[in-house]
């Protein structure tokens, strides 16, 4: 039996994701498909438009066999470290083949990883953004640019895979039609990017997206409260206004005086400012939109450096849902898995291992009003 892994957000699950699963099933009809999915806050620094349970349900409905949640601490980190966290988890779950979408599926990601292994991501001396410095370093090593978001993510997966002793065969899939940042739904073609779909959701044009998502996604989107930074902005604004510099300094990725910049620029905002005003006010050559969005999640959930370090050292696997096949696989994988597998959050785990994810869940539920952790059990899809 082939065990296939995917690293996903499913924000929301759409026809492009369905197409990816179909391709996997064409190549490996007997595959068990394991997905490491971000929880309620995602790697680009934004709240998920629908919660992790709904997104798990959508994935299971599409034929995914096992969904586990990526700890939030991986999601507030740059692509390289995010990828490493996800790869570690999928490795422990016995994944053999990692599928990922890429703008250039013909790239030899293994070779690219090999050539760029010496890049360590310590760019603090450059007066430019982490992302820009990283891309420049990649260009230097390869002799050509990698600048498309999925290609870059693919390279990050490949580097993480190599770092972990190459447990996976990498299988890039050519992305069809919609680029990751495409903001318009392409008429006549029935695939649109998740960003384009969210854009329509923000405008409350749910009907517009009908043909770009499976029916089960469409139904969920019409039933659920769709969330975005708009819903969390007041809480973030309040948090920054009441945080001391001392407290801010303890948070992940707040260093080199960033706490002063955040406090000062936030103070200059008018009372009716919105999230984008905040980003624009704090943005600089050094601090990009994405990095600040991730910082916003860090501040909102109050994720400390200490917490990130602890979980990076001792990761865990949080089970969100499974099919029969997924359960069968999990029972086998368990025997060799070195990380604790959490099937439900209780009094102990919520103050210990799961503290950060639990906090993220409670904050998310202040907006969507649906409990996220205590009393929730993995979804079983027959």
Residue ranges binding its own copies (CB under 8 A): 234-235, 237-239, 241-242, 244, 247, 267, 270-272, 300-302, 359, 362-363, 365-366, 368-371, 374
What's the min distance (Å) between Cβ of 359 and its own copies? 6
- Please state, in angstroms and rounded to a whole number, the distance separating the CA atoms of residues 3 and 146: 29
116 vs 298, which CB is nearer to its own copies? Answer: 298
206 vs 355, which CB is nearer to its own copies? Answer: 355
148 vs 228, which CB is nearer to its own copies? Answer: 228
What's the min distance (Å) between Cβ of 238 and its own copies? 5
187 is in an annotated binding site: no
- Show Cβ contacts of residue 289 under 8 Å, excluding neighbours closer than 6 positions: 279, 283
48 is in an annotated binding site: no
What's the min distance (Å) between Cβ of 80 and its own copies? 27
241 vs 309, which CB is nearer to its own copies? Answer: 241
What's the min distance (Å) between Cβ of 224 and its own copies? 14
The DSSP letter of residue 192 is -
13 is in an annotated binding site: yes
10 is in an annotated binding site: yes
Pinpoint the alpha helices (H) of the chain. 15-27, 52-61, 72-75, 79-92, 109-115, 130-142, 149-163, 194-202, 215-223, 229-242, 245-249, 258-267, 275-282, 289-301, 305-313, 324-334, 347-351, 355-368
150 is in an annotated binding site: yes
139 vs 350, which CB is nearer to its own copies? Answer: 350
What's the min distance (Å) between Cβ of 85 and its own copies? 22
Contact 326, 75 (CB under 8 A): no
Contact 213, 61 (CB under 8 A): no
206 vs 374, which CB is nearer to its own copies? Answer: 374
7 is in an annotated binding site: yes
9 is in an annotated binding site: yes
Structure tokens that stand for 180 in this block: 């990751």
What are phi and psi for residue 20, nearest 5 degrees?
Answer: -60, -45
What's the min distance (Å) between Cβ of 247 and its own copies? 7
Query: Which residues are bridge partners to 34 per DSSP?
Result: 5, 66
- DSSP, collapsed to helix, strand or coil, labels residue 295 as helix
Q: Exposed, middle or buried, 135 (CB in 10 Å: 0-12/13-18/19+)?
A: middle
Contact 78, 152 (CB under 8 A): no
332 vs 350, which CB is nearer to its own copies? Answer: 350
71 is in an annotated binding site: no
Contact 67, 56 (CB under 8 A): yes
What's the min distance (Å) between Cβ of 235 and its own copies? 5
180 is in an annotated binding site: no
- Please state, in angstroms and rounded to a whole number, the distance separating the CA atoms of residues 209 and 211: 6
Q: Which residues are annotated as a binding site for ATP?
A: 7-20, 101, 150, 175
Annotated binding site: 7-20, 101, 150, 175
């Amino acid at each position: 039996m082939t065990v296939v892994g995917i690293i996903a957000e499913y924000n929301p699950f759409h026809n492009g994701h369905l197409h990816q699963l179909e391709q996997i099933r064409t190549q490996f009809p007997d595959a068990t498909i394991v997905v490491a999915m971000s929880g309620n806050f995602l790697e680009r620094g934004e709240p998920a438009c629908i919660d992790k349970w709904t997104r798990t349900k959508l994935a299971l409905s599409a034929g995914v066999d096992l969904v586990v949640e990526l700890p939030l601490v991986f999601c507030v980190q740059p692509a390289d470290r995010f990828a490493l966290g996800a790869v570690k988890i999928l490795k422990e779950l016995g994944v053999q083949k990692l599928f990922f979408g890429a703008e250039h599926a013909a790239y030899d990601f293994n070779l690219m990883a090999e050539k760029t292994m010496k890049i360590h991501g310590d760019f603090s001396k450059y007066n430019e953004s982490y992302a820009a410095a990283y891309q420049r370093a990649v260009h230097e090593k390869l002799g050509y640019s990698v600048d498309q978001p999925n290609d870059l993510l693919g390279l990050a997966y490949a580097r993480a895979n190599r770092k972990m002793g190459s447990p996976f065969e990498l299988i890039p899939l050519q992305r069809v039609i919609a680029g990751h940042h495409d903001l318009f739904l392409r008429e006549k073609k029935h695939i649109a990017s998740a960003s384009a779909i969210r854009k329509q959701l923000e405008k409350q044009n749910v009907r517009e997206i009908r043909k770009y998502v499976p029916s089960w996604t469409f139904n969920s989107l019409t039933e659920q409260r769709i969330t975005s930074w708009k819903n969390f902005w007041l809480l973030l604004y309040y948090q920054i206004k009441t945080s001391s510099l001392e407290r801010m300094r303890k948070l992940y990725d707040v260093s080199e005086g960033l706490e002063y910049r955040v406090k000062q620029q936030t103070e200059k905002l008018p009372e009716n400012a919105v999230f984008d005003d905040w980003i624009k006010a704090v943005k600089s050559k050094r601090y990009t939109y994405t990095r600040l969005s991730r910082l916003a999640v860090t501040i909102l959930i109050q994720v400390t450096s200490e917490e990130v370090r602890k979980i990076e050292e001792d990761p865990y696997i949080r089970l969100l849902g499974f099919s029969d096949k997924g359960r069968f696989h999990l029972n086998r994988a368990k025997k060799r898995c070195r990380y604790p597998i959490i099937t439900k959050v209780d009094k102990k785990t919520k103050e210990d291992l799961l503290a950060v994810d639990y906090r993220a869940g409670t904050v998310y539920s202040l907006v969507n009003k649906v409990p996220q952790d205590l009393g929730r059990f993995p979804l079983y899809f027959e």
